[in-house]
Chain A
């Protein structure tokens, strides 16, 4: 059985780690999902369609051809192909430029981590979130009234959560706030002239 065939025979719930990754400091930080070593092409396999290659900037500066070889081996397998890069050198501008380009050209998704722990967290997250829907990053309707108001008023630049709560407590409801004059809004703590004008304009000027 070739390394490539391995990909389809994996168990769910386990983060598979290539034997080539033995000794990588990242592994010691993977604690939230079970991991198992396996002989395979990518460095990590999170699911049947998701895999990751790992690269440290330091290593890349020493062996610039390494990652090209790895990408070539990977061919076009997997739908989501992460290039997980540990940013461990200070002077990283050129390396990152090359990696950005490389990732775009080879359909890889570049993820930067600044510590081994952070890199490990990404791997864990990809594993643990397998099958999860996108609701936490989608527009959601706030169920709590105060949050709805904060959401609504917060869209006006410069108006933060505190401001929106202050406004609400001053005017008691949104309708009264929308009817308020600039002078009245100015009475609210934290609402300076610029912010007041901006909010008043947003509420009172016509949509178009």
Chain B
């Protein structure tokens, strides 16, 4: 086939032909490969990894041949594997990539090396790079390696960039690519091949695809949509047999869905009256639209420019919309008890919040709560008769089952029959598998319980868990106020229900009668019983743990997150969640399982395509039978159609765009400043180039002439590489030394130290007190400490709303905090910047006529003093690696009573926060001191 022509290293029949075409095209000329979702984007990337890794038959042999034919001289060079860097892979995808390569029989020494947080020190990496091969690296580590010359562009043969859609102008990947292209000699001799399967994201902004191509430094755009002629032919020649099954929502679910939609419209009405910033068309508010579109995101996008100026009430409304949209999902995904619990906790939360959710007060919310409760239980009260003036109310558990569960059961029964028939007709042996695909692991658990234990037990267990938690309050009230009369009738009934359910599930320990008499004594008897049972063991934490432990055990027995029911000679049912599959693992998984039946309990476009690909490549005579289970007129059906539509739409627009698109003009060396910088010998900005001290060229002291020379060196804290500023500084000709700074984010000279705050950071660090500490440290060590307030150029350039100002001085306003900060640190300069580009100009101005920064000194300043030092790497470790759990250390410092000193001791004695939380009072007192220990003990155990 044409595939083997593209890449001889992958066994035939493992990838479809169209990927071979894609491979050849992208191999010929650099570009961005856009594939439809689920069409094997990661497999294609893997094919390149395989190809470049193999020096015998892959890329090197081809290059060698072409060199040999072009030049007469014989090639005596020892064959070194090319150094190829893979950027942009997400966590799970790195493993998926290895899995795919292994499934192709790639020898272990040719597999990519993973350089992530766990990797070794900088020096080791230099040695690793020298050996060549394929490296999957996080961008944050690689940019530091480039800037410190641990990785030299000249030694790198090329870059493979996954998730090309993320390579925007200000991304770290773009920064890396710019350095690579700018410094690679001869210019542009390295290859750059980028991949994406998110076409809709390429078309989501103005000229976004052009900007991305430019940032990627590639000219070509390759499009492989699902409707591509060759893909269609290949996949549709041997299609799976598909049955779509539409399930109606239960009547109660329907009413609830309408109620949520009504609440959404109420929220949007309120939002429109509270802010003038929102342009929203009411016609977009049909129930159908509410269910399908991510309206909350559309609204947030409209408001985000002025987000920090919005009133808290308005922000709450936007938050409410987000909550409501997830409710559409939860309604059809969860069981009735979980949903009831969910909306109740929303209500409790709102009551405790300063800005309660307004929608909870609407009639729609009332309907939602009534119906949600009606699915779980009802309380009936017989009419009073002459004999009984106050008849006893009864609580009846309804526990409506999710309609899809029943449908799934039916399908599985049908499949069993069908399978039995097949077995009789065709003599087939070997395992026969039914693959049931669901959204997440939670659903796997639920369905597993449902299929093994049945509806009643599944729901009753949940019901008991709910009651157990819910009744906690009633129990404490009856305990301290000393009487059943202190709680409402409903609470009492729920309390009684708990012990009844518990007995029904775990067996009765004692027979007890008289339940129906209205005698208080009797009730108290029942109640005591319930309390006893609860105390006996099952408080909520350990209770849910036993359940989870059971599932875990099952999971461990078989493969991860997978479950098999019934004995092996029969049809096996395998439950698997989409969330447990990364990248193209689904195709491996299908090849592994070879299912005869696939039931899509939830839908996922990428997986459906994997099934198509699997089918197109399979050699079976019988097509796979696929069952779609979908709720009619619900969010999932609409969302599925919308996803397909959006993708098709994006591809169509891109095809048009490609016809008229001017080839992107690629600048080899960025800006004028950069050229100038290269001219004066700072090599486009890599500090430590040739291991010269950073400020070497400007400090040779050749008199006055040199003093007027532009200064270019800036020490940058490695954590700042998350923002766009370093890239922009570098583009402006600055030489960056990526180091770990204890004090400040940027050190411009021996007097200027800058702490950078975006607007949200500013508000956050005022609130946490962090800014005060930082200002204190900077003022202590530098003559000119600066707080840089950097605005987002896409948002409004303004700190607060005029109506936020109020008529009086308020201590919580940002004005007051800035005033207070400057009063306490009169030496602190405030730099106001409209955008990172403005920051570059400011930095450049500040650096004139000052000595260059002494990087070593900047690193040393403030070590072991500020709490920040605790969050950073221990001395001696290479920069750019997050070997420590920064977040955990940060959280540790936030615990009541904990300061830098006690935090150090705690970290010596104890490994993690989870471990700390489990410690006894004595242990805590021992490691944190008596006062803090006591505070910690109380903090971990206090109940709300």
Question: Chain A: residues with CB nearer than 8 A to chain B?
Answer: 31-32, 49-50, 79-82, 87, 92-93, 96-97, 100-101, 103-104, 107, 109-112, 114-115, 117-118, 121-122, 124-126, 128-129, 132, 134, 136-142, 145-146, 148-149, 151-153, 155-157, 162, 165-166, 168-176, 178-179, 181, 183-184, 186-187, 189-190, 193, 198, 201-208
We find that the number of chain B residues with CB closer than 8 angstroms to chain A is 96
Contacts of B913 in A (CB 8 A): 178, 202-204
Contact with A along B885-900 (1 / 0, CB 8 A): 1011111101111000
Q: Which residue of chain B is the closest to A202 with respect to CB atoms? A: B887
In the bound complex, do residue B896 and residue A101 qualify as a contact, i.e. CB atoms below 8 Å apart?
no
Q: Which residue of chain A is the closest to B767 with respect to CB atoms? A: A137
Q: How far is the CA of A111 from the CA of B916 in the complex (A)?
A: 44
Q: Is B856 an interface residue (CB 8 A)?
A: no
In the bound complex, do residue A202 and residue B917 qualify as a contact, i.e. CB atoms below 8 Å apart?
no
In the bound complex, do residue B809 and residue A124 qualify as a contact, i.e. CB atoms below 8 Å apart?
yes
Q: Which residue of chain B is the closest to A207 with respect to CB atoms? A: B907
Q: Of A121, A169, A172, which is within 8 A of B541 by CB?
A: A172
Q: Is B187 an interface residue (CB 8 A)?
A: no
Q: How far is the CA of A151 from the CA of B764 in the complex (A)?
A: 11
In the bound complex, do residue A136 and residue B811 qualify as a contact, i.e. CB atoms below 8 Å apart?
yes
Contacts of A140 in B (CB 8 A): 769
Q: Which of B819, B827, B888, B918: most chain A CB closer than 10 A?
A: B819
Q: Of A117, A126, A174, A205, which is within 8 A of B917 by CB?
A: A174
Q: How far is the CA of A132 from the CA of B348 in the complex (A)?
A: 38
Q: Of B323, B802, B829, B874, which is within 8 A of A208 by CB?
A: B874
B485-493, B524-532, B935-943 - interface stretch: B935-943
In the bound complex, do residue B815 and residue A121 qualify as a contact, i.e. CB atoms below 8 Å apart?
yes
Contacts of B829 in A (CB 8 A): 103-104, 109-110
Q: How far is the CA of A125 from the CA of B94 in the complex (A)?
A: 54
Question: Chain B: residues with CB nearer than 8 A to chain A?
Answer: 319, 323, 326, 338, 342, 345-346, 348-349, 352-353, 440-442, 445, 469, 472, 540-541, 544, 548, 579, 752, 766, 768-773, 784, 786, 797-800, 802, 805, 807-809, 811-813, 815-824, 826-834, 838, 841-842, 845-846, 874, 883-885, 887-892, 894-897, 907, 911-914, 916-918, 939-944
Contacts of B770 in A (CB 8 A): 139
In the bound complex, do residue A97 and residue B345 qualify as a contact, i.e. CB atoms below 8 Å apart?
no
Given A114-B798, A145-B942, A207-B911: A169 in contact with B769 (beta carbons within 8 A)? no
Contacts of A49 in B (CB 8 A): 826
Q: How far is the CA of A149 from the CA of B885 in the complex (A)?
A: 20
B727 to A: closest C-beta gap in Å: 20
In the bound complex, do residue B917 and residue A175 qualify as a contact, i.e. CB atoms below 8 Å apart?
yes
In the bound complex, do residue A100 and residue B802 qualify as a contact, i.e. CB atoms below 8 Å apart?
no
In the bound complex, do residue B944 and residue A145 qualify as a contact, i.e. CB atoms below 8 Å apart?
yes
In the bound complex, do residue A169 and residue B895 qualify as a contact, i.e. CB atoms below 8 Å apart?
no
Q: Of B548, B822, B845, which is within 8 A of A109 by CB?
A: B822
In the bound complex, do residue B771 and residue A137 qualify as a contact, i.e. CB atoms below 8 Å apart?
yes
In the bound complex, do residue B540 and residue A207 qualify as a contact, i.e. CB atoms below 8 Å apart?
no
Contacts of B818 in A (CB 8 A): 111, 122
Q: Of B442, B828, B831, B912, which is within 8 A of A207 by CB?
A: B912
Excluding A140-B769, A174-B917, A207-B892, 17 further A-B contacts by CB distance (< 8 Å) are A32-B808, A79-B826, A97-B845, A100-B845, A104-B784, A118-B799, A125-B819, A129-B819, A139-B770, A139-B772, A170-B345, A172-B541, A178-B917, A179-B914, A203-B913, A207-B888, A207-B912
In the bound complex, do residue B944 and residue A50 qualify as a contact, i.e. CB atoms below 8 Å apart?
no
In the bound complex, do residue A138 and residue B891 qualify as a contact, i.e. CB atoms below 8 Å apart?
no
Q: Of A31, A32, A162, which is within 8 A of B319 by CB?
A: A162
Q: How far is the CA of A38 from the CA of B907 in the complex (A)?
A: 59
Given A122-B819, A125-B809, A173-B942: A151 in contact with B894 (beta carbons within 8 A)? yes
In the bound complex, do residue B345 and residue A166 qualify as a contact, i.e. CB atoms below 8 Å apart?
yes
Contacts of B891 in A (CB 8 A): 152-153, 155-156, 202-203
Q: How far is the CA of A162 from the CA of B349 in the complex (A)?
A: 7
In the bound complex, do residue B348 and residue A118 qualify as a contact, i.e. CB atoms below 8 Å apart?
no
In the bound complex, do residue B348 and residue A169 qualify as a contact, i.e. CB atoms below 8 Å apart?
yes
Contacts of B897 in A (CB 8 A): 141
In the bound complex, do residue B830 and residue A187 qualify as a contact, i.e. CB atoms below 8 Å apart?
no
Contacts of B874 in A (CB 8 A): 208
In the bound complex, do residue B345 and residue A208 qualify as a contact, i.e. CB atoms below 8 Å apart?
no
In the bound complex, do residue B914 and residue A114 qualify as a contact, i.e. CB atoms below 8 Å apart?
no
In the bound complex, do residue A173 and residue B941 qualify as a contact, i.e. CB atoms below 8 Å apart?
yes
Given A115-B802, A162-B349: A201 in contact with B342 (beta carbons within 8 A)? no
B881 to A: closest C-beta gap in Å: 12
Contacts of B579 in A (CB 8 A): 193
In the bound complex, do residue A136 and residue B345 qualify as a contact, i.e. CB atoms below 8 Å apart?
no
Q: How far is the CA of A80 from the CA of B823 in the complex (A)?
A: 7
Q: How far is the CA of A204 from the CA of B845 in the complex (A)?
A: 46
In the bound complex, do residue B896 and residue A139 qualify as a contact, i.e. CB atoms below 8 Å apart?
no
Contacts of B834 in A (CB 8 A): 92-93, 96
Q: How far is the CA of A165 from the CA of B541 in the complex (A)?
A: 17
Between-chain CB contacts (< 8 Å), 14 pairs:
A97-B838, A104-B786, A117-B805, A118-B805, A122-B819, A137-B769, A149-B944, A157-B887, A162-B319, A173-B944, A186-B442, A198-B887, A206-B912, A208-B883
Q: Which residue of chain B is the closest to A119 with respect to CB atoms? A: B815
Q: How far is the CA of A162 from the CA of B346 in the complex (A)?
A: 9
Which 5 residue pairs of A and B lie closest in terms of their CB atoms, listed nearest first? Answer: A139-B769, A178-B917, A80-B826, A202-B887, A175-B940
In the bound complex, do residue A155 and residue B890 qualify as a contact, i.e. CB atoms below 8 Å apart?
yes
Q: How far is the CA of A158 from the CA of B353 in the complex (A)?
A: 19
In the bound complex, do residue A208 and residue B798 qualify as a contact, i.e. CB atoms below 8 Å apart?
no
Q: How far is the CA of A135 from the CA of B821 in the complex (A)?
A: 10
A155 to B: closest C-beta gap in Å: 5
In the bound complex, do residue A203 and residue B540 qualify as a contact, i.e. CB atoms below 8 Å apart?
no
Q: Of B442, B841, B911, which is within 8 A of A97 by CB?
A: B841
In the bound complex, do residue A126 and residue B819 qualify as a contact, i.e. CB atoms below 8 Å apart?
yes
In the bound complex, do residue A80 and residue B822 qualify as a contact, i.e. CB atoms below 8 Å apart?
yes
Q: Which residue of chain A is the closest to B892 with respect to CB atoms? A: A207
In the bound complex, do residue B884 and residue A208 qualify as a contact, i.e. CB atoms below 8 Å apart?
yes
In the bound complex, do residue B769 and residue A141 qualify as a contact, i.e. CB atoms below 8 Å apart?
no
Q: How far is the CA of A96 from the CA of B874 in the complex (A)?
A: 39
A181 to B: closest C-beta gap in Å: 6
Contacts of B820 in A (CB 8 A): 129, 132, 134, 136-137
Q: How far is the CA of A47 from the CA of B630 in the complex (A)?
A: 72
Q: How far is the CA of A201 from the CA of B941 in the complex (A)?
A: 21
Q: Which of A81, A170, A172: most chain B CB closer than 10 A?
A: A172
Q: How far is the CA of A178 from the CA of B888 in the complex (A)?
A: 12
Contacts of B942 in A (CB 8 A): 145, 173-174
Given A97-B841, A114-B799, A202-B891: A178 in contact with B940 (beta carbons within 8 A)? yes
In the bound complex, do residue B842 and residue A136 qualify as a contact, i.e. CB atoms below 8 Å apart?
no
